[in-house]
Amino acid sequence: MKNPLASMVDHGYWSHMTLLVAKYAITALVIVVVSEVAKRSDRFGALISSLPFVTLMVMIWLHLEKQPTAKVANHAYFTFWYVIPTLPMFLLMPFLLNRGVGFWTALALAAGLTIVCFAAAAYGLRRFGIELMP
């Protein structure tokens, strides 16, 4: 059974601009919903935000826009390797905030750690034939 969204794209019902506006609207909706849920429940908000909504949406958009299967597969593959170096940020941020470090300083330090971890991962994975940097 064919996906109804794919059918609409296949038959030209959506112009490129309409599809672009739909992408923005759906992406914004996901972010707003997650932030609103997080206001009400720390744990449920974190659970929802930890789900790979953005990656799933990107893969759906790539598929609907008739990108090659290899492009979708590569996106999923590289996303896996890019997520790993971001994980220490989620430990450093609450550690700093719970010790009285201001939000923006904690965020900057956590982002800096992520950059360092990403560079280390890119360097280390290169030895195993995984090229994260073009």
How does pLDDT run along the chain (134 residues), one tens digit per residue? 566 665 555 556 557 788 888 888 988 898 899 899 999 998 888 888 888 888 898 899 899 889 999 999 999 999 999 999 999 999 999 999 999 999 999 999 999 999 999 999 999 999 999 998 87
- What string of DSSP letters covers the chain? ---HHHHHHHTT-S-HHHHHHHHHHHHHHHHHHHHHHHHH-HHHHHHHHHS-HHHHHHHHHHHHTT--HHHHHHHHHHHHHHHGGGTTHHHHHHHHHTTT--HHHHHHHHHHHHHHHHHHHHHHHHTTT-----
Q: Give pLDDT, residue 115.
A: 96
